[in-house]
Chain A
Amino acid sequence: DAKTTQPPSMDCAEGRAANLPCNHSTISGNEYVYWYRQIHSQGPQYIIHGLKNNETNEMASLIITEDRKSSTLILPHATLRDTAVYYCIVIRDNYGQNFVFGPGTRLSVLP
Chain B
Amino acid sequence: NAGVTQTPKFQVLKTGQSMTLQCAQDMNHEYMSWYRQDPGMGLRLIHYSVGAGITDQGEVPNGYNVSRSTTEDFPLRLLSAAPSQTSVYFCASGGWNSYEQYFGPGTRLTVT
Residues on A close to B: CB < 8 A? 41-46, 49, 87, 94-104
Number of A-B contacts (CB under 8 A): 58
Chain B 83-112 against A: per-residue CB contact (8 Å), 1 yes, 0 no? 000001010101111111111111000000
The SS class assigned to the A binding surface is loop
Question: 26 A-B contacts, Cβ less than 8 Å apart?
Answer: A41-B106, A42-B103, A42-B105, A43-B4, A43-B92, A43-B102, A43-B106, A44-B92, A44-B103, A46-B101, A94-B99, A95-B96, A95-B97, A96-B99, A97-B31, A97-B101, A98-B33, A98-B45, A98-B48, A98-B58, A99-B45, A99-B101, A100-B45, A100-B59, A101-B42, A104-B42
The answer to whether B42 touches A102 (Cβ under 8 A) is yes
Chain B 63-79 against A: per-residue CB contact (8 Å), 1 yes, 0 no? 00000000000000000
Is B12 at the interface (CB under 8 A from chain A)? no
Cα A46 to Cα B3 in complex, Å, equals 14
Cα A98 to Cα B99 in complex, Å, equals 12
Q: A97-B94, A103-B40 are in contact. Are A45 and B48 (CB under 8 A)?
A: no
Chain B 45-62 against A: per-residue CB contact (8 Å), 1 yes, 0 no? 100100000000011000
